[in-house]
Structure 1
Amino acid sequence: MADQELVEKHNPSGRISLDPEKAEEGLSQLVMTVIELLRQVVERQAMRRVENGSLTDEEIEKVGEALMNLEEKMEELKEIFNLDDDDLNIDLGPLGNLM
């Protein structure tokens, strides 16, 4: 891989790549970003329910385990697609960064 390509690959701009030759990379980045956003929303909702006392101890255990498994899978997928946390924080223009 050329030095310039390596710099571009690991220099997140906060934007999804629209280059037709890199469409697969841009699509994987977008899909992973949506999954990470949903994971964070589910985690926050679970924490609210725990804090409100609306979950049993067994439910808390199951939710915690599921969230840990999902986070592990996300780390695996980021490695497979050569992405990091900054790559998933896309720029939404005037709305700012996604995460």
Structure 2
Amino acid sequence: MIGWQEPPLREAPPLVQPLEPLARIALDPATIEQDLARLVLTLVELVRRLMEGQALRRLEAGTVTAEEAERLGLGLMQLRGAVETLCDRLGIRPEELNLDLGPLGRLL
């Protein structure tokens, strides 16, 4: 009987590449209020965009009346204006609200 010899095993390449370390949060007391304001405005902008998407889906599905559509549009425009006004007052550029989530990409 001829013996069968298994070929030597090779090391498989990693399935996931190691992540680069994310930028650390700088907790500088001089900028903590600005950083907190930026975070809060980022969350408000995220929720506004989610609401806008939901409103568009409802409009496309025809599940809102013309009056409701008008109110939704005005409310979303006012919210966008309020975020822009607060960004101006606090010296925050709108693009600063788009957080880098590392391997997941940008938030907004």
- TM-score, with structure 1 as normaliser: 0.79
Q: Contact 2:98–2:106 (CA<8 Å) still a contact in 1?
A: yes
Identical positions, percent: 45
Q: Which has the higher helix share?
A: 1
Q: Which residue of 2 aligns with 1:3?
A: none
Largest Rg, 1 or 2: 2
Residue 17 of structure 1: how far off its partner (Å): 4.7
Runs of 4+ more than 2 Å apart = 14-21
Residue 15 of structure 1: how far off its partner (Å): 8.3
1:14-53 deviations in Å (ceiling 9; x for gaps):
9865323211111011000000000000000000000000
Q: Contact 2:98–2:107 (CA<8 Å) still a contact in 1?
A: yes
Give 5+ residue unaligned stretches, structure 1. 1-13
CA RMSD of aligned residues (A): 1.8
Q: Which residue of 1 aligns with 2:48?
A: 39
State yes or no: 1:96 paired with 2:105: yes
Higher RCO structure, 1 or 2 (CA under 8 Å, sep 6+) = 1
Change (3 A) 1:16 1:39: farther
